[in-house]
Amino acid sequence: MRSWSFFAIALSIGALLFALTLWVRNDYLFFAGYVVLQFVVLATAWNILGGYCGYVNFGSAAFFAIGVYSAVAANKLGSNPARFLPDFVASGLAPLLPLPIPVLMLIAGLAAGVVGFGMGYLTLRLRGVFFAIATLAMAVVLQTLIINWDFVGGSRGAYIVRPAKAALGPVAIGYIEYLFAIMLLLAVIALTIARLIERSRLGYGFASIRDDELAAEACGVPTLRLKLIATTISGALMGMAGAPFPFYIGYVEPAAAFGLPYAVNSIAMPMIGGTTSWVGPLLGALVLGSLQQIATVTISSAVNLLIVGVLLVGFVVIAPKGIVGLVEDWRHARAKP
Amino acid sequence: MTGPLLEIRSVGKRFGGFVALEGIDLDVAQGERLGLIGPNGSGKSTLVNCICGTLSNETGSVRFEGRVLDGLAANQRTHLGLARSFQLPRPFMSLSVADNLRIPLLYAVPKRSLSLLSPEDLDARCLELLRQVGLEAKARQRPRTLSQVEMRKLELARAMAAEPKLLIADEVMAGLSPAEIEDIIGLLLRLNEQGITIILIEHIMRAVMRFSQRLAVLVSGRKIADGKPQEVVNNQTVVSAYLGQ
Amino acid sequence: MGIPFELLINAVVAGVLLGGFYAAVTLGISISFGMLDVVNIAHPAFIILGSYIAYLLNLSFGLDPIIAALIMLPAFYVLGQVVYQIYHLSFERRGQDALRGLAFFFGLLFITEVVLILVFGVDYRYVEAPYIGPTWRLGFVDLPLRMLVPCLVSLLLVVVLQLLLTRTFFGRALKAVAQDQLALQLMAADPIRIKRMAFGVSIATACLAGAFLIIIQPVEPSVGRDYIGRVFAICVLGGMGSLPGTVIAAMLLGIVESLTATFYGPSWAPAVAFGFLLLTLAVRPAGILGR
């Protein structure tokens, strides 16, 4: 199936989902759904570097947070341009303000992509294991920088005022519905990109790096360049997922934005779903994300993290190829006479 | 083109205190068939790694077509026309046998020919290469199902897929039956007739003698002989160091 | 300049004491990562576990935390062996990529932290001991006993381990395993058993390190995370499997952290270790006393 067809179909499914949720008239579904969709994006993004290339990124939270804080910073700049920018720039920008979320997402994606590239450049020459540790290090360094950056509130945090209503084309809808729709679109885009990569020359290159980087080099694969591409795309998508978050939650502080749940879920969801294709992260995010939402509401949020940890360890030990792998094996077994 | 295809000058490589290579001088002419022999641990594979960029030599230099290779990454050297098989096979385990050949076809070949092959041509080329080494029946399988011998053939096919000017075959014949050895020698001779320069690293003396126009001997990281196969094999130093008394 | 000399010296001394403690914390990783090539990113979790057990024994029986840890050593040794066996059967034997092993330990780290939160809550816990509180004064130099005692015991631990590595068959077999497993097999020793024992030792050191930790500072479940970067930074900087290197690197990090906290404020301290790590990885992956 060509990628445009896939995109169109996924978009239609998304639109259907959106309409259904609207029809049910339960605001909670939008709040919970937003979080699950956000994880679809994060898991898919992580998998591009982690599953396809085999480079584990422990710093997903950092890229997410870059997205969050780019949006906060840009929003703050936009709310009072005269104070921060020279006059002619401020008046030039005026008709564009306040910056709509899609624009903030692009800014966030750009920022996160640049950081992804930079981080990759510094760390991708390292063996896989050292790369993983280095990503952890970068996340902490970044968090420390943000905590000490007063413009975005530092450790005190920053408040974002959420508008009451928004427009989706000619139709006026509630704000949370608007955020949900945006995240849905981003999820469809992320899945399309992942699928496109998977089936392309790039995807083969990634797979060769994952399987045996030395042999890949000998076959002419420019491994460093490909890894940088993966890191940049992965980082950019995660940043874009973070941009609407301040508007979703109203108040951001570094501990939450850099929270461990983001790092763990970005890794757990693809590993549980299956890392070799775009389906895995989607499945993992849907299953695990929904489980966590249910657990948070019914039991407690500490327990929901326990679920993630146990499932991760369980799957990694027993079913390393994830849900996708299990299904494949089952089909294989059934096909044999 | 004047001058040798590959010029190795005073190449040296250490691992901590262990001297793997010392002062290696070696030329390979365009279109030549060079045999490289020596006991295990003499540095043959290390030399290959230094030529191809998997390792970097500390001293000396390597020139290919007159161009200095030092500082170039392994993939860049492959783009220039070098290809090698690994002594211990390193297949891409998650890809099918045919797809293993797709990687060099996608990444090494396009650098020289200007366009990318169409998907059908790619598939055809993969099968064609597998046929040449006798593996086309296993095209859709994973490398996991291959025997050691078949994996070595895959290594050779993968190196061939890169359409090199210089092919280094590192112990591809280990474990093959005499008939299979004949097949591989035939294959390599045909490649050579097409203009590909070949360095054959082997322990199987019969194959080496049949195939090589010239023979070089490595012992303990040094080259102790370099010349016509018949002369080298009768050289006293070579006999005592490697061939047996 | 204007930096008060006394302040500087005290910061350095504090750093040295801290470094001694960091050495104990990193010992386990030097063994599991430096020698066995097992990326046990969950090591800090075992340390915190040790801290909480020391806390319980201290609370219930008034046991000195270090004594408590010594009593628990065998249990942790066995725990380490069990964990390694699972790891070996699930990953090493199957020849899986490092990704899954890492995810396994990451999951363990997580589970441990969450279980501790569920059992103990997020309040800070601390222990009581006669040397927590008093400070020796040597001229203008402050030597808080709660830092000095762990530092000294930790250095003792390093010496003991180094003797173990150099003077016993187990130690030499371990060094052999680190370099060439096949050779060891030919020597008729079982490399897996050696690795398992070594991993057990690694986790046992975590038990002691945990006791040191809760002596030095109050502990709550997420404290372990700060140490992930520190231990790997020190391990790499110290040249992977080298114990003397680990001590030197630990001291270095302790001093730099202490100076940063004193002159720039404690909110920058976490970044120091990680910044160090990044620098080391970028410039000299082989560390200071590299292999």
SS3 B107: helix
* Of A24-38, A248-262, B49-63, C203-217, the least confident: A248-262
Is B86 in Cβ contact with A215 (below 8 Å)? yes
Q: In the structure, what pLDDT confidence band is assigned to residue B159 with cuts at 50, 70 and 90?
A: very high
Structure-token pair, residue A305: 């993290």
| Nearest C-alpha neighbor of C25 from the set C198, C197, C227 | C227
Would an 8 Å CB–CB cutoff place C82 in contact with chain A? no
Contact C111, A313 (CB under 8 A): yes
Task: List residues of A whose CB lies inside 8 A of any B CB.
Answer: 201, 204-205, 207-208, 210-212, 214-224, 276
Tell me whether residue B86 is in a domain: no
| Nearest C-alpha neighbor of B84 from the set B26, B154, B175, B160 | B160
- Least Cα separation, residue A186 to chain B (angstroms): 30
Angle, helix B148-161 to helix B97-107, in steps of 10 degrees? 20
What is the Cα–Cα distance from A133 to A113, expressed in whole angstroms?
Answer: 20
What is the Cα–Cα distance from C205 to C201, expressed in whole angstroms?
Answer: 6
- Decide the pairing of beta strands B166-170 and B82-84: parallel
Question: Which of B135, B163, B191 delimits the end of a domain?
Answer: B163
Task: List residues of A whose CB lies inside 8 A of any C CB.
Answer: 50, 54, 56, 58, 122-123, 126, 128-130, 132-134, 136-138, 140-141, 143-145, 147-148, 155, 210, 260, 264, 267-268, 271, 275, 302-303, 305-306, 308-310, 312-313, 316-317, 320
Nearest-CB residue to A141 (from C100, C228, C271)? C271
What pLDDT is attached to residue A98? Answer: 67
What is the Cα–Cα distance from B136 to B143, expressed in whole angstroms?
Answer: 13
Question: Which of B142, B163, B184 delimits the end of a domain?
Answer: B163
Is A267 in Cβ contact with C110 (below 8 Å)? no
Q: What are phi and psi of C281, to 5 degrees?
A: -65, -35
Q: Which chains share 3+ C-beta pairs under 8 angstroms with A? A: B, C
Instruction: Examine the domain organization and report whether B73 and B173 are in the same domain.
Output: yes
Tell me whether residue B56 is in a domain: yes
- Least Cα separation, residue A259 to chain B (angstroms): 34
Tell me whether residue B29 is in a domain: yes
Strand positions, DSSP E, chain A: 158-159, 165-168, 171-174, 251-252
Instruction: Examine the domain organization and report whether B199 and B212 are in the same domain.
Output: yes
Contact B154, B112 (CB under 8 A): no
Residues 6+ apart with CB under 8 A from A187: A14, A37, A40, A41, A44
Residue reference for tokens 């306040």: A98
Instruction: Examine the domain organization and report whether B172 and B69 are in the same domain.
Output: yes
Q: In the structure, what pLDDT confidence band is assigned to residue A8 with cuts at 50, 70 and 90?
A: confident
Tell me whether residue B61 is in a domain: yes
What pLDDT is attached to residue B245? Answer: 44
Question: Which of B163, B178, B207 delimits the end of a domain?
Answer: B163
Looking at beta carbons, which residues of chain B come within 8 Å of A214? 54, 74, 90
Looking at beta carbons, which residues of chain B come within 8 Å of A222? 73, 75-76, 107
* Of A33-47, A129-143, A314-328, C42-56, the least confident: A129-143
Tell me whether residue B184 is in a domain: yes
Residues 6+ apart with CB under 8 A from C68: C53, C54, C57, C58, C211
- Least Cα separation, residue A214 to chain C (angstroms): 14
Is C278 in Cβ contact with A138 (below 8 Å)? yes
Tell me whether residue B147 is in a domain: yes
Instruction: Examine the domain organization and report whether B201 and B151 are in the same domain.
Output: no
Structure-token pair, residue A213: 């980087």
Structure-token pair, residue C264: 């720039």
What pLDDT is attached to residue C291? Answer: 36
Please, is A84 exposed, middle or buried when counting C-beta atoms within 10 Å of its C-beta (0-12, 13-18, 19+)? middle
Is C96 in Cβ contact with A132 (below 8 Å)? no
Mean pLDDT of chain A: 84
Rounded to whole angstroms, the maximal C-alpha distance in chain C is 64
User: Among the ranges A132-136, B205-209, C3-7, C141-145, which has the highest mean pLDDT value?
Assistant: B205-209
Is A201 in Cβ contact with B106 (below 8 Å)? yes
Nearest-CB residue to A219 (from B76, B93, B108)? B108
Is C281 in Cβ contact with A134 (below 8 Å)? yes
Looking at beta carbons, which residues of chain C come within 8 Å of A137? 229, 233, 274-275, 277-278
What pLDDT is attached to residue B193? Answer: 93
Nearest-CB residue to C102 (from A132, A148, A309)? A132
What is the Cα–Cα distance from A248 to B188, expressed in whole angstroms?
Answer: 65
Q: Which residue has the higher pLDDT, C279 or A243?
A: A243
Rounded to an integer, the average pLDDT of B217-243 is 86
DSSP one-letter string for chain C: ----HHHHHHHHHHHHHHHHHHHHHHHHHIIIIIIT----TTHHHHHHHHHHHHHHHHHHH---HHHHHHHHHHHHHHHHHHHHHHHIIIIITTT--HHHHHHHHHHHHHHHHHHHHHHH-SS-B----TTSS-EEEETTEEEEHHHHHHHHHHHHHHHHHHHHHHHSHHHHHHHHHHH-HHHHHHTT--HHHHHHHHHHHHHHHHHHHHHHHHHHS-B-GGGHHHHHHHHHHHHHHTTSS-HHHHHHHHHHHHHHHHHHHHHH-GGGHHHHHHHHHHHHHHH-TT-TT--
Nearest-CB residue to C39 (from A129, A264, A275)? A129
pLDDT in tens, A167-194: 665 566 777 888 888 899 999 999 999 9
Expressed as residue numbers, the domain containing B206 is 1-81+166-245
What pLDDT is attached to residue C285? Answer: 58
Contact B103, B93 (CB under 8 A): no
Contact C102, A56 (CB under 8 A): yes
Rounded to an integer, the average pLDDT of A201-218 is 93
What is the Cα–Cα distance from A113 to A110, expressed in whole angstroms?
Answer: 5
Is A210 in Cβ contact with B103 (below 8 Å)? no
- Closest chain A residue to C271 measured between Cα atoms? A141
The H-or-E segment that residue B63 falls in is strand B59-64
Give the angle A279-A285-A288 at the CA atoms, nearest 5°. 130
Q: Is the pTM of this model over 0.80?
A: yes
B76: domain CATH number?
3.40.50.300
- Least Cα separation, residue A210 to chain B (angstroms): 9
Instruction: Examine the domain organization and report whether B77 and B170 are in the same domain.
Output: yes
Whether residue B153 has pLDDT greater than 60: yes
Tell me whether residue B153 is in a domain: yes
What is the Cα–Cα distance from B207 to B184, expressed in whole angstroms?
Answer: 10
The amino acid sitting at B62 is V
Which of A49, A206, A313 is best to mutate for the C interface (most C CBs within 10 A)? Answer: A313
A247, B106, B184, B199 from B173: Cα distances, Å:
65, 27, 8, 13
What pLDDT is attached to residue C289? Answer: 44
Rounded to an integer, the average pLDDT of A12-17 is 84
DSSP one-letter string for A22-60: HHHT-HHHHHHHHHHHHHHHHHHHHHIIIIIS----S-H
| Nearest C-alpha neighbor of C97 from the set A62, A78, B30, B93 | B93
A276, C45, C84 from C107: Cα distances, Å:
20, 11, 15
* Of A154-168, A271-285, B146-160, C104-118, the least confident: A154-168
What pLDDT is attached to residue B241? Answer: 80
Contact A275, A316 (CB under 8 A): no
Percentage of residues of chain A with pLDDT beyond 90: 31
Nearest-CB residue to A317 (from C86, C225, C277)? C86
User: Among the ranges A124-138, B47-61, C127-141, C167-181, which has the highest mean pLDDT value?
Assistant: B47-61
DSSP annotation of A220: T
Would an 8 Å CB–CB cutoff place B92 in contact with chain A? yes
Is A122 in Cβ contact with C118 (below 8 Å)? no
Is A204 in Cβ contact with B106 (below 8 Å)? yes
Q: Which long-range contacts (CB under 8 A, 24 or more apart) does C164-169 make?
A: C164/C201, C165/C243
Would an 8 Å CB–CB cutoff place B74 in contact with chain A? yes
Rounded to an integer, the average pLDDT of A188-214 is 92
Nearest-CB residue to A310 (from C103, C111, C228)? C111
Instruction: Examine the domain organization and report whether B186 and B135 are in the same domain.
Output: no
Would an 8 Å CB–CB cutoff place B86 in contact with chain A? yes
Angle, helix C224-237 to helix C269-283, in steps of 10 degrees? 30
Instruction: Examine the domain organization and report whether B172 and B157 are in the same domain.
Output: no
Give the angle A219-A119-C34 at the CA atoms, nearest 5°. 75
Rounded to an integer, the average pLDDT of A96-125 is 84
Q: In the structure, what pLDDT confidence band is assigned to residue A305 with cuts at 50, 70 and 90?
A: confident
Whether residue B76 has pLDDT greater than 80: yes
User: Among the ranges A114-128, A152-166, C20-34, which has the highest mean pLDDT value?
Assistant: C20-34
What is the Cα–Cα distance from A259 to A265, expressed in whole angstroms?
Answer: 11
- Least Cα separation, residue A225 to chain B (angstroms): 11
Instruction: Examine the domain organization and report whether B144 and B33 are in the same domain.
Output: no
Which of B50, B84, B92 is best to mutate for the A interface (most A CBs within 10 A)? Answer: B92
CB atoms within 10 A of CB A87: 9
First to last CA, chain C: 39
DSSP annotation of A167: E
Instruction: Examine the domain organization and report whether B49 and B64 are in the same domain.
Output: yes
Q: How many domains are there within chain B?
A: 2
Looking at beta carbons, which residues of chain B come within 8 Å of A219? 75, 78, 103-104, 107-108, 158, 161-162
Rounded to an integer, the average pLDDT of B200-225 is 91
Is C268 in Cβ contact with A144 (below 8 Å)? yes
Instruction: Examine the domain organization and report whether B23 and B7 are in the same domain.
Output: yes
Give the residues of chain C that fall short of pLDDT 70. Answer: 1-3, 93-98, 180-189, 283-291
What pLDDT is attached to residue C188? Answer: 62
What is the Cα–Cα distance from A13 to A6, expressed in whole angstroms?
Answer: 11
DSSP annotation of B241: I
What is the Cα–Cα distance from B109 to B128, expressed in whole angstroms?
Answer: 15
Is C102 in Cβ contact with A137 (below 8 Å)? no
Is A208 in Cβ contact with B74 (below 8 Å)? no
Nearest-CB residue to A137 (from C41, C108, C277)? C277
Instruction: Examine the domain organization and report whether B183 and B208 are in the same domain.
Output: yes
Instruction: Examine the domain organization and report whether B16 and B56 are in the same domain.
Output: yes
The amino acid sitting at A334 is R
CB atoms within 10 A of CB C223: 18
DSSP annotation of B88: S
Cis peptide bond prior to A98, omega within 30° of 0: yes
Would an 8 Å CB–CB cutoff place B162 in contact with chain A? yes
Rounded to an integer, the average pLDDT of A7-20 is 83
Q: What are phi and psi of A328, to 5 degrees?
A: -60, -45
